[in-house]
Amino acid sequence: MPKADFPARGLFPTKYFLITGNVKEESLDKISKSFKKDEDVRKLFVDEDLNDLDRAVYLLNQGSEIQRCSVFNNLKQLLVDEGDEGVKAIAESLSDILWKLDEDIQIACAKSILSITSLLNEVSTGYLFPIITTMTGLKNKTVADEWNEVLIMSMDKVEMEIVEKYIKIGTELGDINENESNRVLACRLLGAITKRIDPGKVLDYLPLLQGLCQDTDASVREAMCEQIGIIAPKIGYKNTVAKMDDTSIADELLELLQDEEKAVKIAAFKTLIDLLDLFEDDFRHIRIFPIIKSLILNNDQTLYRLFVQAFGKIMYKMRKKIICDESLISLCCNFYKASSLKTDGRLRAQCAYNFPGILVTIGKKRYEKYLHSIFVKLATDSYAISRITIAKAFHEICKILGKPLSVKYLYPTLKIMLKDNNLEVKESLFVHINIVLDSFLSNDHTANSEIFPPLIPLFLKYNSIITTNWRRQVGMLKHYKHYPKYFTPDEIHKFFIPILFKYLEFGAAPTREDASVCIVIHTRALANNSKQVEIYNQLKEKFGRGRSFWLRLTFIKICKHTLDSFSHNFFK
């Protein structure tokens, strides 16, 4: 048999439609084994003069499995380039063939549409919707489930007429005589519909939703836990707690927290945390706090990790109840301390994340009694993420405690953390270092002289570590302009201005930009005319008369900033 001689390009699409590996290996084997004749290869040939949309349509109608998958994998780019008309052309091609293609192709198409739902609008979703409804009706459960996901996501985009039509379909699927999968779909579909319709219409099918909360299948109850988080904000607090047939949506959620199935309990607890803002204080104190207290006392292992993760938010939302009773404060803080001492580093990191929330709840007056030892432990924890988390929140903790307490309790820990071997800990501190330093600043010059000079070696050490990372340098330089508030003119002249000269000469463009601002501010802060003149003479010689274009351009930037800070006479 003579060897087929086709151009390599044109066999597959040239711009977007590339093989991305989402097709199963057996599909590739099937294709390769089918090439028994030259005609089989010739079928893969694509006219290279076709534009991208025409090529996509051609491949969907005439291409192999892998070529069709290449269209699905690049559907996002087609939508960006071609807009609604591109979606319309693709939908017209798919409507007649997709339902009879292989399972892999049908699933690939569903996943592709799911990935672009954020880009779709009402018009483009309308083109795709007939295909979606056809595919959800297939007998193949695996394929139908994938397309059910598309159906649920499409409820955010389709016309209101279609949404209202699916209210009836959703309520029918939620009937007790339907199978488990349909009832789960009903929960999720009605939850998606709830986002689009008026609260009054949601109340019409609320009894059905409450009944699904009591379903005999755990998967249905779990699905309803997730939907309550959508339904309750839509209908508002009063309707959420209002009794209907001797129960309310809020009652159902709290009952699901006691469910025998772990997955249901976890889903219910996540929803409860999300809805804390919705519930009013009386409901939180009377109905929710006893549950929280029980979790603290009984150490429910199913919910323990989630409970620790959300503990700061929970305490803050319950603060009116907690701060009135010292025994409750002690109970909560002892639980928090015990959690912060667990051997699981991830739990300790969650405690670090919650620290500001706990502190703002109990107040700074109780910091020493309940939280200082925990703070020091987490700031020096063996698990790096705990230390990084504390470093990121350090400035918030300073703001909550205020100046006197920050100096007393946080300053020693700051010095320890600035010596940390983990660079990310130090970088996290420097993101808001000016706020931290402001919390130590005093009107007493003697006190300042004891606080700030010991930090200089630590600052210089950090600077020496980040010499090859211009992004970290820029992050540090953003706060350099505040340094004259904390350090004396002599310290500025001796330690920080030489660093700025190096950044001006050798730094990346963004670094030089910030350094040019800082050196003007620092020189202005010297308040010594002879030193100021000396520095500007160095700048003029090194940069104004520099051989490099970049050095001379830097000098122009320095001159611009100088005019903003110095008098015109000095500039002359």
pLDDT in tens, 113-159: 998 888 889 999 999 999 999 999 888 999 999 999 999 999 999 99
pLDDT band for position 82 (cuts 50, 70, 90): confident
Residues 6+ apart with CB under 8 A from 65: 23, 27, 30, 31, 101, 102, 104, 105
What average pLDDT score do residues 268-275 get? 96
Residue 364 is predicted with a pLDDT of 95
Least confident of 38-47, 72-81, 342-351, 543-552: 38-47
Answer yes or no: are the C-beta atoms of 230 and 207 closer than 8 Å.
Answer: no
Residues 6+ apart with CB under 8 A from 361: 312, 315, 316, 319, 322, 323
pLDDT in tens, 179-191: 999 999 999 999 9
Phi, psi (rounded to 5 degrees) for 418: -70, -15
Residue 17 is predicted with a pLDDT of 43
SS3 197: coil
pLDDT band for position 27 (cuts 50, 70, 90): low
pLDDT band for position 507 (cuts 50, 70, 90): confident
What average pLDDT score do residues 270-275 get? 96
Q: How far apart (Å, rounded) are the C-alpha atoms in residues 118 and 443? A: 54
Maximum CA extent, the chain = 97
pLDDT band for position 467 (cuts 50, 70, 90): confident
**Average of per-residue pLDDT values in the chain:** 87
- Write the DSSP string, 20-57: -S-S-HHHHHHHHHT--SHHHHHTT---TTS-HHHHHH
SS3 250: helix
Least confident of 7-11, 186-190, 313-317: 7-11
* Helix extents (H) in 242-344: 249-256, 262-274, 281-283, 289-298, 304-309, 311-317, 319-322, 326-340
Residue 569 is predicted with a pLDDT of 65
pLDDT band for position 2 (cuts 50, 70, 90): very low
pLDDT in tens, 545-570: 878 878 888 888 888 877 776 666 66
Q: What percent of the chain has pLDDT over 70?
A: 90
pLDDT top residue among 548 and 212: 212
SS3 185: helix
Full-model pTM: 0.81
pLDDT top residue among 27 and 103: 103
Q: What percent of the chain has pLDDT over 90?
A: 63
pLDDT band for position 16 (cuts 50, 70, 90): very low
pLDDT at residue 6 is higher than 60: no
Tokens 């083109």 locate to: 127
Residue 245 is predicted with a pLDDT of 77
Residue 375 is predicted with a pLDDT of 98
Residue 308 is predicted with a pLDDT of 96
Residue 18 is predicted with a pLDDT of 42
Task: Give 137: exposed, middle or buried? Use CB within 10 Å, 0-12, 13-18, 19+.
Answer: exposed
Residue 374 is predicted with a pLDDT of 97
pLDDT in tens, 409-434: 999 999 999 999 999 999 999 999 99
3-state secondary structure string across 414-477: HHHHCCCCCHHHHHHHHHCHHHHHHCCCCCCHHHHHHHCHHHHHHHHHHHHHCCCCHHHHHHHH
Among 468, 467, 433, smallest CA distance to 452 is for: 433
pLDDT top residue among 271 and 165: 271
Residue 11 is predicted with a pLDDT of 40
pLDDT in tens, 331-386: 999 999 999 999 999 999 999 999 999 999 999 999 999 999 999 999 999 999 99
Residue 533 is predicted with a pLDDT of 86
Side chain identity, residue 157:
K
pLDDT at residue 70 is higher than 60: yes
Answer yes or no: are the C-beta atoms of 221 and 259 closer than 8 Å.
Answer: yes
Residue 46 is predicted with a pLDDT of 58
pLDDT at residue 482 is higher than 90: yes
pLDDT top residue among 321 and 529: 321
- Write the DSSP string, 365-378: GGIIIIIHHHHHHH
